[in-house]
Amino acid sequence: MKKILVLCTGNSCRSQMAHGYLKYFAEGRAEVYSAGVETHGVNPKAIAFMKEDGIDISGHTSNNVEEYSNIDFDFIITVCDNAKENCPFFPSKAQRFHYNFPDPSKYEGTEEEIAAEFRRVRGMIKTYCEDFINMMAI
Protein backbone atom coordinates (compact mmCIF):
# COMPACT_ATOMS: atom_id res chain seq x y z
CA MET A 1 0.00 0.00 0.00
CA LYS A 2 1.34 3.44 -0.96
CA LYS A 3 2.12 5.95 1.80
CA ILE A 4 1.47 9.64 1.12
CA LEU A 5 2.56 12.57 3.29
CA VAL A 6 0.99 15.99 2.77
CA LEU A 7 3.13 18.73 4.24
CA CYS A 8 2.24 22.35 5.01
CA THR A 9 3.46 25.05 7.37
CA GLY A 10 1.11 24.53 10.31
CA ASN A 11 -0.89 21.40 9.39
CA SER A 12 -4.09 23.29 10.06
CA CYS A 13 -5.83 23.99 6.76
CA ARG A 14 -4.44 23.18 3.28
CA SER A 15 -2.65 19.96 4.26
CA GLN A 16 -5.68 18.84 6.25
CA MET A 17 -8.01 19.39 3.30
CA ALA A 18 -5.60 17.58 0.96
CA HIS A 19 -5.32 14.73 3.47
CA GLY A 20 -9.11 14.37 3.46
CA TYR A 21 -9.41 14.39 -0.33
CA LEU A 22 -6.46 12.08 -0.97
CA LYS A 23 -7.90 9.56 1.48
CA TYR A 24 -11.32 9.87 -0.17
CA PHE A 25 -10.07 9.47 -3.74
CA ALA A 26 -7.63 6.65 -2.86
CA GLU A 27 -10.58 4.60 -1.53
CA GLY A 28 -8.44 2.60 0.90
CA ARG A 29 -5.57 2.02 -1.54
CA ALA A 30 -3.18 4.40 0.24
CA GLU A 31 -2.23 5.43 3.75
CA VAL A 32 -2.43 9.20 3.95
CA TYR A 33 -0.71 11.36 6.57
CA SER A 34 -0.49 15.10 6.96
CA ALA A 35 1.95 17.18 8.95
CA GLY A 36 3.42 20.62 9.33
CA VAL A 37 6.85 22.04 9.91
CA GLU A 38 4.98 23.56 12.89
CA THR A 39 1.61 22.63 14.42
CA HIS A 40 -1.25 25.11 14.68
CA GLY A 41 -4.24 22.85 15.37
CA VAL A 42 -6.85 21.92 12.77
CA ASN A 43 -8.63 25.02 11.48
CA PRO A 44 -12.37 24.93 12.36
CA LYS A 45 -13.26 26.53 9.01
CA ALA A 46 -11.33 23.82 7.16
CA ILE A 47 -13.37 21.23 9.06
CA ALA A 48 -16.64 23.04 8.27
CA PHE A 49 -15.97 23.60 4.58
CA MET A 50 -14.77 20.03 4.06
CA LYS A 51 -17.91 18.75 5.79
CA GLU A 52 -19.92 20.92 3.41
CA ASP A 53 -18.42 18.80 0.60
CA GLY A 54 -19.06 15.51 2.39
CA ILE A 55 -15.54 14.94 3.76
CA ASP A 56 -15.17 14.59 7.53
CA ILE A 57 -11.79 15.74 8.83
CA SER A 58 -13.05 16.53 12.34
CA GLY A 59 -11.02 13.64 13.78
CA HIS A 60 -7.73 14.84 12.27
CA THR A 61 -4.93 16.10 14.50
CA SER A 62 -2.23 18.65 13.75
CA ASN A 63 1.07 16.78 13.65
CA ASN A 64 4.70 17.83 13.36
CA VAL A 65 6.58 16.32 10.43
CA GLU A 66 9.23 14.96 12.83
CA GLU A 67 6.62 12.52 14.19
CA TYR A 68 6.74 10.66 10.87
CA SER A 69 10.50 10.46 10.35
CA ASN A 70 10.45 6.65 10.66
CA ILE A 71 7.84 6.12 7.92
CA ASP A 72 9.05 5.20 4.44
CA PHE A 73 6.79 7.41 2.31
CA ASP A 74 6.24 6.81 -1.38
CA PHE A 75 5.07 10.37 -2.03
CA ILE A 76 5.58 13.68 -0.24
CA ILE A 77 3.36 16.53 -1.38
CA THR A 78 4.14 20.03 -0.14
CA VAL A 79 1.16 22.37 -0.44
CA CYS A 80 2.87 25.67 0.35
CA ASP A 81 6.24 27.21 -0.51
CA ASN A 82 7.28 27.53 3.15
CA ALA A 83 6.86 23.79 3.70
CA LYS A 84 8.76 23.01 0.50
CA GLU A 85 11.68 25.17 1.62
CA ASN A 86 11.68 23.80 5.18
CA CYS A 87 10.80 20.16 4.59
CA PRO A 88 13.29 17.99 6.42
CA PHE A 89 15.16 15.29 4.57
CA PHE A 90 13.43 11.91 4.59
CA PRO A 91 15.85 9.05 3.95
CA SER A 92 13.48 7.29 1.59
CA LYS A 93 12.63 6.78 -2.04
CA ALA A 94 9.73 9.25 -1.77
CA GLN A 95 8.83 11.15 -4.89
CA ARG A 96 8.27 14.82 -4.10
CA PHE A 97 5.52 16.97 -5.52
CA HIS A 98 4.72 20.61 -4.87
CA TYR A 99 1.81 22.96 -5.41
CA ASN A 100 1.61 26.31 -3.64
CA PHE A 101 -2.06 26.65 -2.74
CA PRO A 102 -3.27 30.00 -1.40
CA ASP A 103 -3.92 29.98 2.36
CA PRO A 104 -7.65 30.64 2.88
CA SER A 105 -7.13 31.05 6.63
CA LYS A 106 -5.11 34.22 5.93
CA TYR A 107 -7.77 35.73 3.65
CA GLU A 108 -9.29 38.98 4.90
CA GLY A 109 -12.78 40.16 4.08
CA THR A 110 -16.38 39.70 5.05
CA GLU A 111 -17.61 36.31 6.25
CA GLU A 112 -19.10 35.75 2.79
CA GLU A 113 -15.80 36.61 1.09
CA ILE A 114 -13.84 34.35 3.44
CA ALA A 115 -16.31 31.52 2.80
CA ALA A 116 -15.94 32.04 -0.95
CA GLU A 117 -12.14 31.88 -0.62
CA PHE A 118 -12.30 28.66 1.41
CA ARG A 119 -14.57 27.12 -1.23
CA ARG A 120 -12.30 28.31 -4.06
CA VAL A 121 -9.15 26.86 -2.47
CA ARG A 122 -11.01 23.70 -1.45
CA GLY A 123 -11.96 23.23 -5.10
CA MET A 124 -8.34 23.67 -6.21
CA ILE A 125 -7.15 21.13 -3.63
CA LYS A 126 -9.92 18.67 -4.53
CA THR A 127 -9.02 18.79 -8.22
CA TYR A 128 -5.30 18.43 -7.49
CA CYS A 129 -5.88 15.43 -5.20
CA GLU A 130 -8.18 13.62 -7.61
CA ASP A 131 -5.71 14.20 -10.44
CA PHE A 132 -2.81 13.04 -8.26
CA ILE A 133 -4.50 9.75 -7.34
CA ASN A 134 -5.37 9.14 -10.99
CA MET A 135 -1.89 10.14 -12.27
CA MET A 136 -0.14 7.85 -9.79
CA ALA A 137 -2.63 5.02 -10.48
CA ILE A 138 -3.35 4.59 -6.80
76, β-bridge pairs? 5, 96
Quote the CA–CA distance of 27 and 9 in Å, as a whole number. Answer: 26
Active site residues: 8, 80, 87
The span from the CA of 48 to the CA of 93, in Å, is 35
DSSP structure string for 30-59 = EEEEEEESS-----HHHHHHHHHTT---TT
The CA-based diameter of the chain, rounded to the nearest angstrom, is: 44
Q: How far apart are CA 69 and CA 39, in angstroms?
A: 16
